[in-house]
Chains A and B, each alone.
Chain A
Amino acid sequence: MNQASANAAEASSSAQPLLQVKDVAVHFGGIVALDGVSFDVPEGAILGLIGPNGAGKTTLFNCLSRLYIPNSGDILFRGETILNTAPHKIADIGIGRTFQNLALFSTMSVLDNVMIGCHSRSKSDFVSNAFRLPWVSREEKWLQEVAWELIEYLDLGEFAYDPVGGLPFGIQKRVELARAIASEPTLLLLDEPAGGLNHDEVDGLANTIRQIGHDRNITVLLVEHHMSLVMAVSDLVVAIDFGRKIGEGTPAEVQQNPEVIRAYLGTSD
């Protein structure tokens, strides 16, 4: 995308944020996981979503990828609700995600995992595959190109043919990232990408996330426990606790927010 059209796209969408979470509430039986959370994610931003354990962050993510249905509220992507979109159509409209506890296809190679990430961008089906029509071979070649480009982008080349199940945790996390980007999302949801990583890996991850956002024009919504990572990469931070939003703003603002400090450190009284 050239600069002019990028600007045009920005101008046209400046009126509305890429993602709008509106008063979303989720109950599991008597337990209130989310209690009317609202916030916007502007296009091109990296937004960090923070909160103590059990605050409802992953629940919100699962609403965004349509694994849970909110009891009330709405989620708008480019101004349109996604609540009527089937879960497998979410990738089509441009939302990709990673999972907190890894959800890779463990018997398949890194290359195949990333190629599945391109599923929503390709279209050969049972019949055309069974007959291996010429255009299917071309599509397959193209998929491999796309996957290889990402594998090299995330420095996974030496593992490309290994089954992911046997790779170290940190590498698997990167494979998941590659797989998520492979669908060319406009919005990328990262659920605790730093979870289980060592110190060096977290530093590398911060750079990677910023780079992905910048190189590929991807808006990022990041759920993370790792405060220094969130504060380092986020343009905006939203803090939630007990299913409610307790703070919002730039990383510096949120760090000063007494509510947030109380949620994380507790109060003396």
Chain B
Amino acid sequence: MTASTLPDSGANAGSARRPNPEESLRIFGMSMQQFRRSSVIVGLLIILLLPFTVEDFAVFQMTQVIYLSIAVLGLNLLTGFNGQFSLGHSAFMALGAYTAGIMMAQWEIAYYWTIIPAGVICFAAGFLFGLPALRLEGLYLALATFALATATPQLLKYEHFEPWTGGVQGLDLFKDDSPIAFLSNDQWWYYFSLFFGVLLFIGAWNLVRGRTGRAMIAIRDNPIAASTMGINTSVYKATTFGVSGFYCGVAGALSAIVVEFIAPESFTIIHAILLLIAMVIGGLASIPAAIIGGAFILYMPNFSEAVVDAFFAGDPSSKALVWVSFGVVMIIVVYIMPMGVAGFIRWNVQKLARRG
């Protein structure tokens, strides 16, 4: 590598392009690139093989982690990368879930045809919502999206929509069993969801490391300068809102298919806040962070419950303590890892690598 031998002054124009000094660090005897590749491969192997080693209910939970991660990723594209806040992403998940649910329950369309339409409809909804949202910034945008999140469950209960939505009762969904003999139903839904998850994660990764991603981040960092550089900030912001909606729509459709039931109460403001928590805990503007965040909001309530049960078993008022325990864990995580879990991991890897 020439990096270490180049003089500091760098005055000689036309010299070879410098490699990133961070990239020339070594960790566990590997280059950073090798380390990153092997982490991804090991991670993928674990994700692929895990369903064969655990019981069905655990597989079902992991499937939930997949679609929650997709939703968190969608939110992170909007907030982490583009700087637009949203407290209303439960609404896009609801729209996706109901699109899939209505297609399956009312029109008897096979479940696998519902994913893309749900995404496309949510893209359109996100884009259209993103247009007026251009005039709102920061807290005001958060309020507008908050309104979206609170209105959506009410709209789903609205009596004139009942023939489609099933009103308060929601919709029970039926679907075929696993088409592959050696996979249980839960394993099949897991791989079905994983397929879309992997595609969407690759898509997001491609997006943020290219011209579009740079423009998204530029708008977050300095919208006026971004516009001066020739970036059409309105189009980018509205489109990012749409893409974010697409991710949440697909996540919502997967949730409807996997859980086989949708109801307005699954998509309340609490759900939107959980997505926000997942994004912050995982790490803003990080793609793998979405998986950590998704896992956090799925397992954390159960974990909190287990903790509370261990200490206050039998106390009828202990249910209320579950959220307290959840909150305490959250504060601790944010305090120890201000950049989220992903940021914490990245920081430690770099520290290890610098040490040699």
Contact = CB atoms under 8 A, between A and B. Distances in A.
Given A87-B227, A120-B230, A126-B212, A153 B222 contact: no
Interface stretch (A33-41, A157-165, A221-229, A249-257): A157-165
B11 interface: yes
Given A130-B207, A143-B211, A155 B229 contact: no
A129 B229 contact: no
28 contacts: A88-B227, A90-B228, A90-B230, A96-B228, A105-B221, A105-B225, A107-B221, A116-B231, A119-B211, A119-B214, A119-B215, A119-B229, A119-B230, A120-B229, A124-B211, A124-B212, A126-B212, A140-B210, A143-B211, A152-B10, A152-B13, A152-B14, A152-B15, A153-B13, A157-B10, A158-B10, A160-B18, A183-B230
Contact of A129 (B18, B207, B225): B207
Contacts of A104: 221-222, 225
Nearest to A105: B221
B212 A158 contact: no
Given A105-B218, A116-B215, A116-B218, A183 B229 contact: yes
Q: Which 4 A-B pairs have the closest CB atoms?
A: A120-B230, A91-B230, A103-B225, A157-B10
A112 interface: yes
Contact of A126 (B230, B231, B243): B243
A130 B218 contact: no
A86 B17 CA distance: 36
Contacts of A88: 227-228, 230-233
Contacts of A86: 232
A179 interface: yes
Contact of B212 (A87, A112, A125, A155): A125
Interface residues on A, range: 35 or more
A160 B297 CA distance: 38
B21 interface: yes
B55 interface: no
Contacts of A179: 229
Contacts of B206: 129-132
Interface string B13-50: 11101101110000000000000000000000000000
Nearest to A122: B211
A125 to B, nearest CB: 6
Nearest to A160: B18
Contacts of A155: 10-11, 13
Interface of B: 8-11, 13-15, 17-18, 20-22, 203-204, 206-207, 210-215, 217-218, 221-222, 224-233, 239, 243
Interface of A: 65, 67, 86-92, 96-97, 99, 103-108, 112, 115-117, 119-120, 122, 124-126, 129-132, 136, 139-140, 143-144, 148, 152-153, 155, 157-158, 160-161, 179, 183
B226 to A, nearest CB: 8
B230 A89 contact: yes
Contacts of A99: 225
Contacts of A122: 211
Output the residue of A86, A107, A115 with the most chain B CB within 10 A. A107
Contacts of B18: 157-158, 160
Given A152-B13, A161-B21, A115 B210 contact: no
Nearest to A108: B217
A162 to B, nearest CB: 9
A144 B18 CA distance: 12
Contact of A116 (B14, B15, B207, B229): B229
A269 to B, nearest CB: 43
Contacts of A140: 210-211
Contacts of A131: 203, 206
A189 to B, nearest CB: 10
B255 to A, nearest CB: 23
B214 A108 contact: yes
A32 B211 CA distance: 40
